[in-house]
Structure 1
Amino acid sequence: MTRSRRTSAIALRRILNSRRMGLPLWMPRRRWSLIRVISRRALANTAILNHREALKDFKAVVKREPNNRDAKLKLADCEKLVRRVEFEKAIEVGDPPSAFEDLDIDSMAVDDGYDGVRIGNEMTQEFIDDMIERFKNGKKIHRKYVFQIIKAVRDLVYAEPTMVEIGVEEGNKLTVCGDTHGQFFDLLEIFRRNGYPSDKHAYLFNGDFVDRGSWSTEIALVLYAYKWLRPNGIFLNRGNHETDDMNKAYGFEGECKAKYNERVFKVFSESFSALPLATLIGEKYLVLHGGLFSDDSISLNDIRKLNRHNQRQPGQQGLMMEMLWTDPQTAPGRGPSKRGVGLQFGPDITKRFCEKNGLEAIIRSHEVRMEGYEVEHDGRCITVFSAPKYCDTTENKGAYINLGPELKLNYQVFEAVPHPPIKPMAYAQNSLLSMM
């Protein structure tokens, strides 16, 4: 990450934290004007989907600078966002019907001109191999197969516990990957370097498969196809970007509509809400997307007992939200989140949680790490991030972790690979977010 980008990120975090804590606006050393500070705060609030606060700030900028054309455009975009969010809330029902209701997949015909491998009622390795080649060449699979894959995996993961518990048998290997964020060609680089999922080699993907990168449907379908083929050989934790609000803002919804149709997004959304929230490896490592909790009394048993099916979206508080959104900090105790959602937890929090639950460490993702991974909190908090050169702008490496039966962590770092000339956020519907 360049120095200027780091400076901007730090500034945004301080601005948001100052607003939340009721403090006066923090003014950077470079003497930004009040207008510039308010504009950046508005963009930051847009990024965390705090649209009403963003709207107030954009209105303030336009009031102070009525001839500022850029501010007027951003205000108009933000007003559209707020109207859309309010409309969607107005038409919400308590228990929406399944997105698969009235979807007759069996009656869907695959025309004779389809040039890909076909499947019946079972996934095959031949189909996956062909699908990957199609995706590499810019092709799609037939919509019937998309629905089949999502339906099969939705049923599989719905039946799994909220915290899946696994080990690594003798002669086998497990690989833990962090965020892939629609960077399909970098996912293939992991498989090229480390091996594809097989009977002896399982994978755990720790959330944020989609959004930002412009091959999110390709990643989701490949991971889902492997899950259908080998239910006990690939494991999928939910991330904060496997949620409706994020998908609507950061590109996945738009990508589904552009490449397939709106129904595909809706069934993906239902499958995301069924995903487990954590995986326990050999009773030593708790793997979850975000991090730890606002309450020291939370235990592994509380995660086991959490009925995630009662709450499809994580909301702004509660156990599910914290599992998807929180981040570590270097200072002890807990602090306000730099994201505006969730919180930050210190090394003492991690130590108490691990000791209470008999864990060696937690493994989480959710944040870029310049070397692809980072070991913090005296070795008890490990972050792994698997999207190198994130969004084509951050000069970070990617990483993944290999474990054998002895459960020793073997970190592997890799560089980004070339991809076709499609920019990140290509399918994002909101111009405000596409510039973040």
Structure 2
Amino acid sequence: MATAEEQATTFKNEGNKAFASHDWLAAIDLYTKAIELNPNEPAYYSNRAQAYFRRAVAYTAILKSRDALKDFKTVVKKAPNDKDAKLKLAECEKIVRRVEFFRAIEVEDAPSAAEGLDLDSMVVDDDYDGVRLGTEMTTEFITDMLERFKNGKKIHKKYVYQIVIAVTKIVHEEATMVEMEIPDDAKLTVCGDTHGQFFDLMELFRLSGLPSEKHYYLFNGDFVDRGSWSTEIALLLYAYKWLRPSSFYINRGNHETDDMNRVYGFEGECKAKYNERVFKLFSESFSALPLATLVGNKYLVLHGGLFSDDKITLDDIRKLNRHNQRQPGQSGLMMEMLWTDPQPEPGRGPSKRGVGMQFGPDVTKRFCENNGLEAIIRSHEVRMEGYEEEHDGRCITVFSAPKYCDSTENKGAYIDIGPDYKLKFHKFDAVPHPNIKPMASWALSML
């Protein structure tokens, strides 16, 4: 019969396995059992504290702020000399105050931020030195806007209002899953997360070419937050969407949501560069964005990944009324489309993020076969080479923010798809940008 110390070691080893698979709750439980059997082993306490810490970080990322706060307090209590835990606790307390403040002032069924906005009577001063925008988007305006953004300038707030309102109307009328074909004389470029890294997006356009009648684009969510130029990217993508509504596509990502924007920088950036109304207009537009794009009946492009139920089909996505649910919440089809991730092991497992789940190669294989797809294309995660083909090539991740947040030495990537529907992967490096740090810490300090 095993001794108490041997049984404790077994629980510790099982806890390590749970920790490695991001099952923080199981890891905490197993380390606690090890401590109960052998309270004199310091490693068990430190392992449990790390499990609490990792779970707290996961809760923070998905804005379960109260749960995160509880775990950080536990870590600080059990490891009072852990400076990182103390710092995270202080940040988490700010998040809790901020989230609860906005929940307290939110009004259900509030009128649109566009209500009462009289664009016709809004005057652009004579000293505005940029190209003027009329009732339709033009290539000339976009070219001028690009140069202004490169030089640290803004466009007039009237034009911001016009762009966001026009695009909200366009995308609201699109299907939850847009279905498109690539013409014989055209190509489609699929881009992943850009996260406010405007100058890296300019490098992507330099390498791949600007959107045109024959060069379609699809941006697969998470174009705002974290980086310092989220408004510039959002306005640029929206301007192209207004100019080319039938050949420029935008999917919603998990960062095109209110709670994420309030914590990870976009709301604060909108208010600093323009005003609160601009953020509210963008928020309404994000809720109207499609959740997926079906390319040639071969590739399903969506931000996160697949589903907790094998019975989900493309028809279920088609039928999903995204307008009835402005924010994705913590469960359901919309949440899974925005939040899930692939894993190498078969089956499904707990999410390392703490929301959604992870899906294995067998899940991807069944989904593709049941729906007649060659592969799914998703984003949502950093890949060191900018992209990765997983699950026997049926799950493809593309990430377009090189040197993510100025701290990860990853490349960016994009995918070209021609009329033959063959995938061509392109990698690119980050380029220099003005010395402005990512905005997450600024957003946390706003309250």
The TM-score, its normalising length taken from structure 1, stands at 0.90
Q: Is contact 2:287–2:323 with CA below 8 Å preserved after alignment? A: yes
1:239 aligns with 2:239: no
Q: Distance in 2 between matches of 1:417 and 1:350?
A: 35
Which residue in 2 is equivalent to 1:3? none
Q: Distance in 1 between matches of 2:153 and 2:50?
A: 43
The one-letter code of the counterpart of 2:313 is S
Deviates more, 1:70-79 or 1:281-290: 70-79
SS of equivalent residue, structure 2 residue 23: helix
Q: Relative to 1, partners in 2 of residues 1:13 and 1:263: Cα closer, same or farther, differing over 3 Å?
A: farther
Which of 373, 381, 387 does residue 387 from structure 2 map onto? 373
1:109 aligns with 2:123: yes
SS of equivalent residue, structure 2 residue 443: coil
SS of equivalent residue, structure 1 residue 322: helix
Which residue in 2 is equivalent to 1:342? 356
Q: Relative to 1, partners in 2 of residues 1:65 and 1:224: Cα closer, same or farther, differing over 3 Å?
A: same
SS of equivalent residue, structure 2 residue 175: coil
Which of 191, 195, 205 does residue 177 from structure 1 map onto? 191
Which residue in 2 is equivalent to 1:219? 233
Which residue in 1 is equivalent to 2:297? 283
Which residue in 2 is equivalent to 1:124? 138
Residue 206 of structure 1 and its aligned partner are, at CA, apart by: 0.4
Q: Relative to 1, partners in 2 of residues 1:408 and 1:34: Cα closer, same or farther, differing over 3 Å?
A: closer
Alignment of 1:239-388 (within 5 A): 239-388=253-402
Q: Is contact 1:363–1:383 with CA below 8 Å preserved after alignment? A: yes
Q: Is contact 2:222–2:255 with CA below 8 Å preserved after alignment? A: yes
Q: Is contact 2:27–2:51 with CA below 8 Å preserved after alignment? A: no
Residue 29 of structure 1 and its aligned partner are, at CA, apart by: 7.9
SS of equivalent residue, structure 1 residue 119: coil
1:24 aligns with 2:38: no
Which residue in 1 is equivalent to 2:403? 389
Q: Distance in 2 between matches of 1:367 and 1:72?
A: 27
Q: Distance in 1 between matches of 2:177 and 2:53?
A: 41
Which residue in 2 is equivalent to 1:47? 61
The one-letter code of the counterpart of 1:167 is E
The one-letter code of the counterpart of 1:215 is W
Q: Is contact 1:249–1:428 with CA below 8 Å preserved after alignment? A: no
1:390-409 residue CA offsets vs partner (Å, 9 max, x unmatched): 11111111111111111111
Structure 1: runs of 5 or more not aligned: 1-9
Q: Relative to 1, partners in 2 of residues 1:72 and 1:138: Cα closer, same or farther, differing over 3 Å?
A: same
Deviates more, 1:305-314 or 1:76-85: 76-85
Which of 191, 199, 211 does residue 197 from structure 1 map onto? 211
Q: Distance in 1 between matches of 2:266 and 2:235?
A: 13
Q: Distance in 2 between matches of 1:254 and 1:411?
A: 35
Q: Is contact 1:18–1:24 with CA below 8 Å preserved after alignment? A: no
1:79 aligns with 2:85: no
Q: Distance in 2 between matches of 1:411 and 1:287?
A: 15
Residue 342 of structure 1 and its aligned partner are, at CA, apart by: 0.5
SS of equivalent residue, structure 2 residue 259: helix
Which residue in 1 is equivalent to 2:7? none
Residue 155 of structure 1 and its aligned partner are, at CA, apart by: 0.3
Alignment of 1:81-160 (within 5 A): 81-160=95-174
Q: Distance in 2 between matches of 1:23 and 1:30?
A: 11
Q: Distance in 2 between matches of 1:385 and 1:37?
A: 28
Q: Relative to 1, partners in 2 of residues 1:320 and 1:36: Cα closer, same or farther, differing over 3 Å?
A: closer
Deviates more, 1:422-431 or 1:92-101: 422-431
The one-letter code of the counterpart of 1:60 is T
How many percent identity over aligned positions? 73
The one-letter code of the counterpart of 1:347 is P
The one-letter code of the counterpart of 2:70 is K
Deviates more, 1:101-110 or 1:236-245: 101-110
Q: For this pair of structures, how many residues does the alignment match?
A: 423
Q: Relative to 1, partners in 2 of residues 1:70 and 1:280: Cα closer, same or farther, differing over 3 Å?
A: closer
The one-letter code of the counterpart of 1:420 is P
Q: Is contact 2:176–2:322 with CA below 8 Å preserved after alignment? A: yes
SS of equivalent residue, structure 1 residue 134: helix
1:209 aligns with 2:223: yes
Q: Is contact 1:252–1:428 with CA below 8 Å preserved after alignment? A: no
Residue 69 of structure 1 and its aligned partner are, at CA, apart by: 8.1
1:127-175 residue CA offsets vs partner (Å, 9 max, x unmatched): 0000000000000000000010000000000000000000111111111
The TM-score, its normalising length taken from structure 2, stands at 0.88
The one-letter code of the counterpart of 1:284 is K
The structure with higher relative contact order (CA 8 Å, sep 6+) is 1
Residue 58 of structure 1 and its aligned partner are, at CA, apart by: 3.2
Which residue in 2 is equivalent to 1:417? 431
Q: Is contact 1:214–1:427 with CA below 8 Å preserved after alignment? A: no
Q: Distance in 1 between matches of 2:106 and 2:169?
A: 24
Q: Relative to 1, partners in 2 of residues 1:61 and 1:155: Cα closer, same or farther, differing over 3 Å?
A: same
Q: Distance in 2 between matches of 1:176 and 1:11?
A: 36
Q: Relative to 1, partners in 2 of residues 1:56 and 1:112: Cα closer, same or farther, differing over 3 Å?
A: same
Q: Distance in 2 between matches of 1:12 and 1:116?
A: 57
Q: Distance in 2 between matches of 1:220 and 1:320?
A: 22
Q: Relative to 1, partners in 2 of residues 1:111 and 1:161: Cα closer, same or farther, differing over 3 Å?
A: same
